[in-house]
Structure 1
Amino acid sequence: MIDNAQFDYVIVGSGAGGGPLAANLAKAGFKVLLMEAGGDEDSLNYSVPGFNGLSTEDETYRWDYYVRHYADQAQQERDPKFVPSQDGVLYPRASTLGGCTAHNALITVYPSNSDWDRIAEITGDESWNAASMRKYYEKLERCEYLSPAEVIATGHGSSGWLVTEKSDTSGSPQDWQLQTTLQYAVGVANQAHTMGPINPLLDPNTRKVAEEGREGYLTIPLATADHARNGPREFIRQVAAQFPENLTIWTGVYVTRILFADGDDNVAVGVEYLAGRNLYRADPSSGVRCKVTEPTSGKVHVTREVILACGTFNTPQLLMLSGIGPKEHLAEHGISARVNLPGVGRNLQDRYEVGVVFEMDSDWTVNADATFGDDPDFDAALAQWQATRTGVYTSSGSALAFLKRSSPDQPDPDLFVFALAAHFQGYFPRYFSHFEPVRNRFTWAVLKAHTRNTAGEVKLKSADPFDRPYVNFHYFEEGNDTDGRDIAAVVEAVGFARSMMNGSPYVTREVLPGPDIQGNEALTQWVRDQAWGHHCSCTCKIGGSDDPEAVLDGDFRVRGTRNLRVVDASVFPHIPGTFIVLPIYMISEKAATVIIAEARGAVASSEDLMPSTVPATNSSARGGIL
């Protein structure tokens, strides 16, 4: 590494926001340095869709945060996932090229149009409206599960960097128990809840579904190419190979501070970093060092901008360590406030999730050959995936899902309820390894979207850049959803899931919530005790100039500074859609358009200033219900 090297842009973090942004700026001809704290190692845990649970336990990628859901200790300890020694609940994150896109469940679902229109209203900037933002989705996607004519007719993309497919479980062992269970659920949902197919293609991402806020059942689009994980990592590598003079990638570098020019203008000019692995204390291997691996310090400067894409926890942490944040809180840790921005680290939001779990009559046969090992000689499902890219490992685990309103007055569907042939009740150490051997469990995973609670917070524990921050989501009554609509929606979804299993021929018993948890009061308390999330967002929100809590303007610039932006999940004022990764990809594409336009002295346009796409082909293969 060259100390004090000159780049146009330094981007800190290679995940869903920073990775595509770096690639797009490099393609546009700018010299970009992309800095990633983790490495760039490949593995089966990364590539195989069915191994996404294992990827969250892989120490090569893992950063373990422990977060609180409540300040109330007694209520916090009611959660069976609470780890007393860590004073929190496990919140898996990934530190590697591609960030958390390296270990997510690959689910790629379009957000609601209202998510974008709301930002347009807040900022007064119509480039944020739903029609304008749809163009970014069409640009970045390469849809491979529809025919070319269907792609055009339904508003998908055909030549972007993100390939989307649906699982191909052909060749898997026939599982009448699973097929019957899913068909029974569809029948109940249709007859008792008028929940038919979301559209003839079972696709949640068509333009009409977003425009009309449709409800119904669907099969889930996945971010896979040839049924292997694809995302920012592949895009970054492709662009770096094509434009090596424009895109420089540094892995194993942890940024500790933003550098500013002398004077009162708060002009960002670079970053300070340490080069070394396993430095951050969320890393399970942190503190294991010797003289050979002793980190080295450095600084790097830019000619244009510093862009933070460190994620919802680490972006506000880095801003605060650099003197940008709530003045009083910074003073508690001996940090002088360069810019007093009270909103940094506030407004933390997430989905609420619970698992409604049932015991089945017998073990599943669909995954009977799957050992989740790394040797195809001892894992027939892995051998099939490697040879033909078919079988149970082409799926991230769910064959069927429902988009549903929790109540008729909801403007958009706010529940995503999806089926898993496994036991899943949230995250705790070794959660996947603990439940994987149990092969006779079925879970309806409930996800509450468009949550109303905005009272979570990320705060510094110290001025040490390697300390994990304090994270508290302040769930339910501790938050500002004063009328309790969030928790009522989750309770309603639990009832919906139960109804689809009531009388199902292969169900032997309900494991969670369990037969003893009945009635609204008991179910509400069970949700308080069990709920979790893994789509943290909104801690550096975009807002209008009249909002004292706004951290960014509508062009991602940090207020009170120059040449400093944020492009990651923290920018949203309100948590968007059902699964957050696709909205982050979309704001990354928008940020590229805005930044390129500014650099060229032009007016940003989502039509004629977006970086060019890469050639692609389509296939007509479709996924379906098992």
Structure 2
Amino acid sequence: MAASSERSSYDYIIVGGGIAGCVLASRLHEKLPAVSILLLEAGKEAIGHPLTNAPLACFGIHHSDLDWDFSTVPQPHLNNRICYQAAAKALGGGSSINYATWLRGPKVDYDRWAKLVGDDRWSYDKLLPYFEKVGHTNGNDGVIKTRSTSASHDDRKYPLREIVRKAWESAGLQYNPTPNDGDPRGITELVENWLEGQRQFAHRLYNLDGVDVLTEAAAARILISAEKRAEGVQLLDGRTFHAHKEVIASSGAFNTPKLLLLSGIGPKEELQKHGIQQLVDAPEVGRNFHDHPAVALIWKLKDENLRLPMSAIGTNPAFGLGLPADWVVFSGMDKDLISAALAKDGLAASDEEYLLDGSNCYTETLNVYAPAGAVHAGMDIPFDGLHISTPVLGMLPTSRGSITLSSSDPTAAPQIDPNYFATELDRVMMRNGVKKALQAFEEWADLNVTEVPPEGYPALSVKSTDEEIDARVRRVANTFFHPAGSCAMGKAVDADLRVCGVDGLRVVDASVLPTPIAAHYQYCIYTLAERAADCIVQG
């Protein structure tokens, strides 16, 4: 999978060898075997890297050589904190560094996507064949093999499993056995795409034989002709490659808008700030950025008999098959709370109609038998089996941020502004999710836990005020690594993923998502890339 040193032109050049880029390159070669394809990846091969060998190693990938290790600008609604932003810098992209959780998301979110762009090809029902082609829960007939926690091994039984389930039932949630069938609401079992405790790398599952692949080949800009056509790509080292048919940007929600802006495709005022000549007026490039914020609640068990012995992870092979977790909870929200927040935000009537839909999943709460999220919250919590966590995610954020340039230097990091919690609805959504977790964990007596606050903050309980919860959110909230929307379909690209105002240029990655999906995005992005291949082949 190495590109010829003598070849300088191809039919298709794909910039970014992450999940989307690998799937797209593989499918284009399969469907159009006569065409030539170059796949460029700024990172290196991750197979065999010590941090990609086992599920628990994924926590060590943050800030490593496989991570772009970005940061946000100060966030005004989070005490002006600068927040960490992870992004894969490796062939295989997210499949090389993610936590391998497998959640498709609700039908209602995909249907809204289709409605926003005026094209039902992006609706849930029309995407369903692609979802099924990619993978099934507890199934072997898709490209990706997935398993729920309990189905992965008979001995993978965490001590708190039934207690945590009953805790959530006491808070009014019901068990949902089919979270990946379009309605994940309720208590669902974690589904993962670890396979016997090993990663399933996108560039291994999707055959790249016949595709020229260059790793450690970062792009500096896309070459645009006077006729506003993408003609090729220039790398940081000065090498250029020409594209006869198309250039496809698949560099992710951070680096794709950065690449377009560096290439003179974007809003004039943004380009002028950095002395870049505007070649294509594209005011929506870098706008509409959204992300799933998370607030990790840390709990300490009082009963030593309920702890997950850390030694068991090493001695019991079943505990090495995935993350130390088993339940995921998707929650709705009271319509009165939503209406009151919407009134303060003054959103459009169409947004109000969508956000009041009773089938929405507003928050997701993971139940992890380790202090997940503590490090990113700046809390020093021991990995001792007695400290567990419930990260609460805001799944339908209405806040919108931006990805812009920090410099005209292509080696400089983009300027990332998620604008977390800028709307009342986002604040109410997270507050409501935290309250549900507090209710579940404090009303079930057998759980017998205490909430562990950051230094200088009171422990939270069902008696905590809204102000105390909001203060905690401002102190610890961070990303859950689902950046999207910065080259949104219906704004920066059309429904065929073509960049508006440029011929021969498409975007295929999470940056095209026009609206948040209550999912973990790898499943969505595999499906997006499968669909995109057909868009390209069908013209």
Is the structural similarity TM-score above 0.5?
yes
Match of 1:369 in 2: 311
Matched, 1:197 2:175: yes
Q: CA deviation at 1:169?
A: 5.2
Aligned residue type for 2:169: N
Find the aligned partners of 1:426 and 1:510 in 2 and give their Cα distance: 13
| 1:380 aligned to which of 296, 315, 331 | 315
SS of the aligned residue for 2:87 comes to strand
Q: CA deviation at 1:197?
A: 1.2
Match of 2:338 in 1: none
Match of 1:160 in 2: 142
Moved over 4 A (4+): 169-172, 362-365
Aligned residue type for 1:218: T
Match of 1:76 in 2: 80
Compared with structure 1, are the counterparts of its residues 166 and 47 closer, same or farther at alpha carbon in structure 2 (3 Å cutoff)?
A: farther
| 2:247 aligned to which of 282, 303, 306 | 306
Match of 2:351 in 1: none
Q: CA deviation at 1:328?
A: 0.9
Match of 1:511 in 2: 452
Find the aligned partners of 1:450 and 1:538 in 2 and give their Cα distance: 13
CA offset digits 1:409-438 (Å, max 9, x no partner): 443122211111111335549x79x64534
Match of 2:211 in 1: 247
Match of 2:425 in 1: 485
Find the aligned partners of 1:18 and 1:448 in 2 and give their Cα distance: 28
**Is residue 556–residue 591 contact of structure 1 (8 Å, CA) maintained in 2?**
yes
Q: CA deviation at 1:370?
A: 5.7
After the TM superposition, which residues 68-467 of structure 1 pair with which residues of structure 2 at under 5 Å, given as runs? 68=73, 70-71=75-76, 75-77=79-81, 88-141=82-135, 143=137, 145-146=138-139, 159-167=141-149, 168=152, 170-171=154-155, 178-179=159-160, 182-193=161-172, 195-198=173-176, 202-206=177-181, 210=182, 213=183, 215-236=185-206, 239-240=207-208, 244=209, 246-261=210-225, 263=226, 265-274=227-236, 296-361=237-302, 366-369=308-311, 379-380=314-315, 384=317, 391-408=318-335, 409=356, 410-425=358-373, 428=376, 435=381, 437-454=383-400, 456-467=401-412
Matched, 1:475 2:420: yes
CA offset digits 1:79-98 (Å, max 9, x no partner): xxxxxxxxx22212221111
Aligned residue type for 1:368: M
Find the aligned partners of 1:501 and 1:3 in 2 and give their Cα distance: 62
**Is residue 447–residue 578 contact of structure 1 (8 Å, CA) maintained in 2?**
no
Q: CA deviation at 1:396?
A: 1.8
Coordinate RMSD, CA, aligned: 2.4
Q: CA deviation at 1:214?
A: 5.2
Q: TM-score, normalised by structure 1?
A: 0.76
**Is residue 13–residue 309 contact of structure 1 (8 Å, CA) maintained in 2?**
yes
**Is residue 62–residue 69 contact of structure 2 (8 Å, CA) maintained in 1?**
no
Matched, 1:48 2:54: yes
Match of 2:341 in 1: none
Compared with structure 1, are the counterparts of its residues 417 and 228 closer, same or farther at alpha carbon in structure 2 (3 Å cutoff)?
A: same
Identify the range of structure 1 (408-417 vs 347-356) with the bigger mean alpha-carbon deviation.
408-417
SS of the aligned residue for 1:162 comes to coil
**Is residue 68–residue 472 contact of structure 1 (8 Å, CA) maintained in 2?**
yes
**Is residue 223–residue 232 contact of structure 2 (8 Å, CA) maintained in 1?**
yes
Identify the range of structure 1 (350-359 vs 109-118) with the bigger mean alpha-carbon deviation.
109-118
| 2:71 aligned to which of 38, 59, 66 | 66
**Is residue 184–residue 500 contact of structure 1 (8 Å, CA) maintained in 2?**
no
Q: CA deviation at 1:336?
A: 0.6
Compared with structure 1, are the counterparts of its residues 301 and 416 closer, same or farther at alpha carbon in structure 2 (3 Å cutoff)?
A: same
CA offset digits 1:504-524 (Å, max 9, x no partner): 335342113743672112212
Find the aligned partners of 1:414 and 1:531 in 2 and give their Cα distance: 16
Aligned residue type for 1:270: G
Match of 2:477 in 1: 531
Q: CA deviation at 1:368?
A: 2.5
Q: TM-score, normalised by structure 2?
A: 0.87
Find the aligned partners of 1:214 and 1:333 in 2 and give their Cα distance: 45
**Is residue 307–residue 566 contact of structure 1 (8 Å, CA) maintained in 2?**
yes
Aligned residue type for 1:579: H
Matched, 1:20 2:34: no
Aligned residue type for 2:25: A
Compared with structure 1, are the counterparts of its residues 114 and 508 closer, same or farther at alpha carbon in structure 2 (3 Å cutoff)?
A: closer
Find the aligned partners of 1:133 and 1:69 in 2 and give their Cα distance: 37
SS of the aligned residue for 1:342 comes to coil
Find the aligned partners of 2:307 and 2:50 in 1 and give their Cα distance: 23
**Is residue 4–residue 301 contact of structure 1 (8 Å, CA) maintained in 2?**
no
Aligned residue type for 1:403: F
**Is residue 56–residue 94 contact of structure 1 (8 Å, CA) maintained in 2?**
no
Compared with structure 1, are the counterparts of its residues 47 and 233 closer, same or farther at alpha carbon in structure 2 (3 Å cutoff)?
A: farther
> % of aligned pairs identical?
25
Aligned residue type for 1:507: N
Find the aligned partners of 1:142 and 1:189 in 2 and give their Cα distance: 26
CA offset digits 1:567-617 (Å, max 9, x no partner): 01100111112212211111111100110111xxxxxxxxxxxxxxxxxxx
Match of 2:339 in 1: none
**Is residue 135–residue 144 contact of structure 2 (8 Å, CA) maintained in 1?**
yes
**Is residue 298–residue 374 contact of structure 2 (8 Å, CA) maintained in 1?**
no
CA offset digits 1:539-570 (Å, max 9, x no partner): 00111xxxxxx110000000110000000110
Find the aligned partners of 1:9 and 1:343 in 2 and give their Cα distance: 25
Compared with structure 1, are the counterparts of its residues 571 and 508 closer, same or farther at alpha carbon in structure 2 (3 Å cutoff)?
A: closer
**Is residue 309–residue 567 contact of structure 1 (8 Å, CA) maintained in 2?**
yes
Q: CA deviation at 1:3?
A: 5.2
